[in-house]
Structure 1
Amino acid sequence: MTFRTGLLFGAAFIAGITAGPELTRLACSGAASLTGAAFAQEASVDKGGADKTGNHAETYKLLTLFGSIFDLVRANYVEPVSDRDLITNSLNGMLSGLDPHSSYMTEKQYADMQVQTTGKFGGLGLEVQGEDGHIRVVSPIDGTPAWRAGVKPGDFIVAIDGHNIDGSPLNEAVEKMRGKPDTKITLTLIREKTPKPIVLTLTREIIHIQVVKSALYDKTGYIRIAQFDEETTDELHKAYDKLVKQAGGKLNGLVIDLRNDPGGLLNQAIDVSSSFIKSGEIVSTRARRPKDSQRWDAKGSDMTDGLPVVVLTNGGSASASEIVSGALQDHRRAILLGTKTFGKGSVQTVMPIPGNGAVRLTTARYYTPSGRSIQGLGIVPDIVVKETREDPGFSIREADLAHIIKNEGGNQTKPPARDDIPAIAAKIPNQPPANWPTFDVTKPTTDFQLQEGLRVVRSMAGVAAPDPVASLPPEQTTAAKNEAPHH
Structure 2
Amino acid sequence: MRTTLKIGAAVLGTALLAGPVGYAVADSKSSETYKQLNLFGDVFEQIRSEYVEPVEDAKLIEAAINGMLSSLDPHSSYMNEKLYKDMQVQTRGEFGGLGIEVGIENGVVKVISPIDDTPASRAGVKSGDYITHLNGEQIVGIGLNEAVEKMRGKPGTDVKITIRRPDVTDPIEINLKREQIRVQSVKYRVEGETIGYIRISSFNEQTQPGLEKAIAEIKQKTAGKLLGYVLDLRNNPGGLLTQAISVSDTFLDKGEIVSTRGRHSEDVERVNAKPGDLANGLPVIVLINGGSASASEIVAGALQDHHRAILMGTQSFGKGSVQTIMELKNHGAMRLTTARYFTPSGKSIQAKGITPDIEVKAAKVEEVASLGSGRREADLKGALSNPDTLKTDGKPTTPAAPPAGGPGEPGVGAAPAEISSAKPAKPSGANVNAPPEVDYQLSRALDLLRGVAMFNTRAVN
Q: TM-score, with normalisation over the residues of structure 1?
A: 0.77
Distance (whole Å) between structure 1 residues aligned to residue 263 and residue 41 of structure 2: 30
Listed one character per residue, the Cα deviations across residues 364-422 of structure 1 (whole Å, up to 9, x for unaligned) are 1111111111111111000011124447314221111222223226999xxxxxxxxxx
Code of the residue aligned with 1:152 in structure 2: it is K
How far the C-alpha of 1:128 sits from its partner, in A, is 2.3
Whether 1:265 and 2:240 are equivalent positions in the alignment is yes
Q: Matches of residues 265-344 of structure 1 in structure 2 within 5 Å?
A: 265-344=240-319
Whether 1:397 and 2:376 are equivalent positions in the alignment is yes
Partner of 1:366: 341
How far the C-alpha of 1:217 sits from its partner, in A, is 0.7
Q: Does the residue aligned with 2:202 lie in a helix, a strand or coil?
A: coil
Whether 1:385 and 2:377 are equivalent positions in the alignment is no
Most deviating of 401-410 and 339-348? 401-410
Cα gap change, 1:169/1:289 in structure 2, threshold over 3 Å: closer, same or farther?
closer
Distance (whole Å) between structure 1 residues aligned to residue 435 and residue 30 of structure 2: 64
Partner of 1:452: 444
By percentage of residues, which structure has more strand?
2
Cα gap change, 1:284/1:165 in structure 2, threshold over 3 Å: closer, same or farther?
closer
Listed one character per residue, the Cα deviations across residues 178-233 of structure 1 (whole Å, up to 9, x for unaligned) are 23222332222222222332222222211000100001111111000011111111
Listed one character per residue, the Cα deviations across residues 82-123 of structure 1 (whole Å, up to 9, x for unaligned) are 111111111112222122222222111111111110000011
Distance (whole Å) between structure 1 residues aligned to residue 147 and residue 182 of structure 2: 22
The higher relative CO (CA closer than 8 Å, separation ≥ 6) is in 2
Distance (whole Å) between structure 2 residues aligned to residue 195 and residue 42 of structure 1: 47
Distance (whole Å) between structure 2 residues aligned to residue 378 and residue 352 of structure 1: 30
Whether 1:147 and 2:121 are equivalent positions in the alignment is yes
Partner of 1:28: none
How far the C-alpha of 1:53 sits from its partner, in A, is 7.4
How far the C-alpha of 1:444 sits from its partner, in A, is 4.8
Code of the residue aligned with 1:162 in structure 2: it is G
Code of the residue aligned with 2:150 in structure 1: it is K
Distance (whole Å) between structure 1 residues aligned to residue 17 and residue 71 of structure 2: 23
Q: Matches of residues 400-439 of structure 1 in structure 2 within 5 Å?
A: 400-408=379-387
Cα gap change, 1:176/1:444 in structure 2, threshold over 3 Å: closer, same or farther?
closer
Distance (whole Å) between structure 1 residues aligned to residue 336 and residue 144 of structure 2: 20
Distance (whole Å) between structure 1 residues aligned to residue 27 and residue 323 of structure 2: 24
Asked if 1 retains the 8 angstrom alpha-carbon contact of 2:9 and 2:328, the reply is no
Partner of 2:89: 115
How far the C-alpha of 1:164 sits from its partner, in A, is 3.7
Code of the residue aligned with 1:44 in structure 2: it is T
Most deviating of 99-108 and 142-151? 99-108
Percent identity over the alignment is 53
Whether 1:251 and 2:226 are equivalent positions in the alignment is yes
Structure 1 runs (4+) deviating above 4 angstroms are: 36-43, 50-54, 409-412, 437-445
Distance (whole Å) between structure 1 residues aligned to residue 139 and residue 76 of structure 2: 25
Asked if 2 retains the 8 angstrom alpha-carbon contact of 1:439 and 1:447, the reply is no
Asked if 2 retains the 8 angstrom alpha-carbon contact of 1:445 and 1:451, the reply is no
CA RMSD, 1 decimal: 2.8
Distance (whole Å) between structure 2 residues aligned to residue 46 and residue 246 of structure 1: 62
Distance (whole Å) between structure 2 residues aligned to residue 232 and residue 262 of structure 1: 14
Partner of 1:44: 14
Distance (whole Å) between structure 2 residues aligned to residue 280 and residue 115 of structure 1: 33
Partner of 1:353: 328
Q: Does the residue aligned with 1:371 lie in a helix, a strand or coil?
A: coil
Cα gap change, 1:37/1:326 in structure 2, threshold over 3 Å: closer, same or farther?
farther
Code of the residue aligned with 1:275 in structure 2: it is T
Distance (whole Å) between structure 1 residues aligned to residue 27 and residue 295 of structure 2: 34
